[in-house]
């Protein structure tokens, strides 16, 4: 696999291995916070009269912002200088060559197809009652129809037609999602796990990242192809940037029905 990392760019000597027990802590705390945010804070905000999406934005965007802040604090506690070149070096935020772009696109398409198959299996398990979904779940988060249901989307935002605030709100959440997760998981944690687990890091890291989504337990199986594949690619390329690109492309798909709804293209 080709990488565009500058010659001699390796993790700094301040990086210490992150063994399994410590990895559980660093993954477990955000997982618990997200679970509470999704299943306690969000329903409470909706019950208080807030639109479902904005309740979701506050309940999940806040932990994501805290993950971003935590990654920078942890980075600084390692003794690194708070400068962009040093941050790029430690978090392996390297440029991508043309060949790396092509490889990243190819890997993303492959992972997207496998994820689609896995999510299809999840939907079958949900329909069979094997994976129960909370009855209190907002309609737009329904794992079967969800964002494809225009009435559910309208209700989530309080109306979509002409509502560009909906697009801006989703972009804010998307930015917090990608930067918060990638800086914490792949930027700060992954290089430390590599020192502890070697070649098996992608399995441990990818599985823990999938389990982080326990707040939507009905989707964990469906997310495994992406979490495992993305982790392996980032490790092989020794570059966090392709992971950011793939993560962004995957999650940005949610913008499509929102923009179509704002433009009045549904129905």
Which pair of tokens denotes residue 183? 């800086």
pLDDT, position 248: 97
Q: Confidence band (pLDDT; 50, 70, 90) for 9?
A: very low
Write out pLDDT tens, residues 36-53: 999 999 999 999 999 999
Write out pLDDT tens, residues 68-121: 999 999 999 999 999 999 999 999 999 999 999 999 999 999 999 999 999 999
pLDDT, position 149: 74
Which pair of tokens denotes residue 263? 């433009």
Top pLDDT among 13 and 244 is at: 244
Residue 266 has pLDDT above 70, yes or no: no
Residue 4 has pLDDT above 60, yes or no: no
Q: How many C-beta atoms surround the C-beta of residue 197 within 10 A?
A: 18
Residue 2 has pLDDT above 70, yes or no: no
Q: Confidence band (pLDDT; 50, 70, 90) for 10?
A: very low
The full DSSP string for 16-77 is: ----HHHHHHHHHHHHHHHHHIIIIIHHHHHHTT--HHHHHHHHHHHHHHHHHHHHHHHHHH
pLDDT, position 264: 87
Q: Confidence band (pLDDT; 50, 70, 90) for 7?
A: very low
Write out pLDDT tens, residues 224-248: 999 999 999 999 999 999 999 999 9
Write out pLDDT tens, residues 128-179: 889 889 888 888 898 876 666 778 888 999 999 999 999 999 999 999 999 9
Look up tokens 């392709």; give the residue.
Answer: 242
Residue 8 has pLDDT above 50, yes or no: no
pLDDT, position 146: 63
pLDDT, position 267: 55
What is the reported pTM? 0.91
Q: What average pLDDT score do residues 124-129 get?
A: 90
Q: In the chain, pLDDT over 70 holds for what percent of residues? A: 93
Residue 11 has pLDDT above 60, yes or no: no
The full DSSP string for 116-183 is: HHHHHHHHHHHHTTSS---TTS-GGG-SSSGGG-HHHHHHHHT--TT-HHHHHHHHHHHHHHHHHHII
Q: What average pLDDT score do residues 185-191 get?
A: 98
Q: What average pLDDT score do residues 27-37 get?
A: 98
**CA atoms of 202 and 212, how far apart (whole Å):** 15
Q: Confidence band (pLDDT; 50, 70, 90) for 1?
A: very low
Write out pLDDT tens, residues 16-27: 999 999 999 999
């Amino acid at each position: 696999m080709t990488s565009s990392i500058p010659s001699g760019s390796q993790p700094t000597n301040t990086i210490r291995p992150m063994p399994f027990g410590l990895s559980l802590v660093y993954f477990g705390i955000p997982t618990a916070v997200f679970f509470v945010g999704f299943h306690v804070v969000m329903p409470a905000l909706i019950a208080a009269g807030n639109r479902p999406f904005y309740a979701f934005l506050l309940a999940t965007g806040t932990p994501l912002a805290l993950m971003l802040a935590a990654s920078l604090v942890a980075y600084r506690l390692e003794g690194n200088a708070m400068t962009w070149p040093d941050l790029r070096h430690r978090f392996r935020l390297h440029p991508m060559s043309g060949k790396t772009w092509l490889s990243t696109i190819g890997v993303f398409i492959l992972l997207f197809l496998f994820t689609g198959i896995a999510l299809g299996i999840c939907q079958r398990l949900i329909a069979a009652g094997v994976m129960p979904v909370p009855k209190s779940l907002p309609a737009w988060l329904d794992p079967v129809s969800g964002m494809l249901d225009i009435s559910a989307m309208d209700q989530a935002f309080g109306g979509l037609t002409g509502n560009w605030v909906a697009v801006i709100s989703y972009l804010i959440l998307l930015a917090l999602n990608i930067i918060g997760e990638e800086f914490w998981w792949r930027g700060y944690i992954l290089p430390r796990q590599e020192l502890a687990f070697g070649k098996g890091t992608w399995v441990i890291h990818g599985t823990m990242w999938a389990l982080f989504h326990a707040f939507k337990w009905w989707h964990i199986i469906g997310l495994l192809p992406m979490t495992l594949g993305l982790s392996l690619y980032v490790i092989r390329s020794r570059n966090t940037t392709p992971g950011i690109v793939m993560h962004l492309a995957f999650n940005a798909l949610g913008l499509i029905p929102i923009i179509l709804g704002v433009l009045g293209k549904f129905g």
